[in-house]
């Protein structure tokens, strides 16, 4: 069995599945006008860092083998862990898109008649979609037999996450006031009960 190829195929299928999960919510959300936007100038940099780390750098290795010097061996146990992490990530993506509906946007925007979602998956943590992205980011080290392709997502998404999460919470607090402060007091950010 070619485990390297297996890992590449599973990674590719999961990324495609993510695109399918996001396709309809993206169209739906775009139909709802943006009322306020709080995108800081650095958002463009952090979104690019995230795309680079989660998608572009691993894809370059998958399709061209570059940078070969950082290749390493992987086996079935590693593939199984990586697959489980990515599948769990996809499950969370689906749940968060369903819960947010047209309130979703890929950056820091508030839509017309924006409601604060605190039920379902949003009862467990405040940023379940970021939990999903973190799960995506930690699966390539197990799925891809190359250190650069494997670790790029942690650096790339980590950049976006840490530059954005505080700003997003400030935006939500400015919009929803006490309701958001109470929500914040009873939930953690991305791991239930821990962080």
Which stretches of the chain bind ligand SAH, using CB under 6 A? 96, 100, 103-105, 108-110, 116-117, 122, 127-130, 168, 172
Q: Shortest approach of ligand SAH to residue 110 CB, angstroms?
A: 5
Measured CA to CA, the distance from residue 153 to residue 146 in angstroms comes to 12
Q: Which residues of 19-41 are buried (b: 16+ CB within 10 A; e: fewer)?
A: eebbeebeeebeebeeeeebbee
Q: Shortest approach of ligand SAH to residue 109 CB, angstroms?
A: 5
Q: Shortest approach of ligand SAH to residue 146 CB, angstroms?
A: 28
- For 151-154, the CB contacts below 8 A with 24+ separation are 152/52, 152/53, 152/54, 152/57, 152/58, 153/53, 153/54, 153/57, 153/58, 154/53
Q: Shortest approach of ligand SAH to residue 143 CB, angstroms?
A: 23
Nearer to ligand SAH among residue 71 and residue 179 (C-beta): 179
Measured CA to CA, the distance from residue 97 to residue 48 in angstroms comes to 22
Q: Shortest approach of ligand SAH to residue 183 CB, angstroms?
A: 7
Closest among 108, 146, 104, 149 to 129, alpha carbons compared: 104
Nearer to ligand SAH among residue 77 and residue 116 (C-beta): 116
Contact 136, 82 (CB under 8 A): no
Nearer to ligand SAH among residue 64 and residue 119 (C-beta): 119
Nearer to ligand SAH among residue 77 and residue 170 (C-beta): 170
Nearer to ligand SAH among residue 20 and residue 116 (C-beta): 116
Nearer to ligand SAH among residue 76 and residue 120 (C-beta): 120
Q: Shortest approach of ligand SAH to residue 116 CB, angstroms?
A: 5
Contact 123, 96 (CB under 8 A): no
């Amino acid at each position: 069995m070619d485990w390297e190829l297996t890992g590449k195929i599973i990674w590719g299928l999961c990324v495609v599945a993510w695109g399918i999960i996001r396709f309809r919510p993206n169209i739906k959300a775009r139909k709802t006008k943006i009322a306020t936007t709080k995108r800081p100038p650095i958002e463009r940099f952090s979104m690019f860092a995230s795309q680079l780390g989660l998608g572009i750098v691993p894809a370059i290795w998958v399709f061209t083998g570059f940078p070969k010097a950082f290749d390493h061996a992987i086996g079935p146990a590693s593939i199984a862990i990586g697959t489980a992490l990515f599948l769990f990530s996809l499950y969370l993506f689906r749940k968060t898109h369903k819960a947010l509906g047209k309130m979703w946007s890929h950056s820091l925007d508030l839509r017309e008649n924006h409601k604060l979602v605190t039920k379902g998956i949003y009862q467990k943590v405040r940023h379940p979609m970021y939990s999903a992205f973190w799960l995506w980011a930690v699966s390539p080290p197990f799925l891809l037999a190359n250190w650069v392709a494997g670790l790029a997502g942690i650096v790339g998404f980590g950049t976006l996450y840490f530059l954005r999460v505080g700003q997003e919470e400030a935006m939500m607090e400015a919009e929803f006031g006490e309701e958001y402060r109470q929500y914040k007091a009873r939930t953690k950010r991305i791991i239930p009960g821990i962080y």
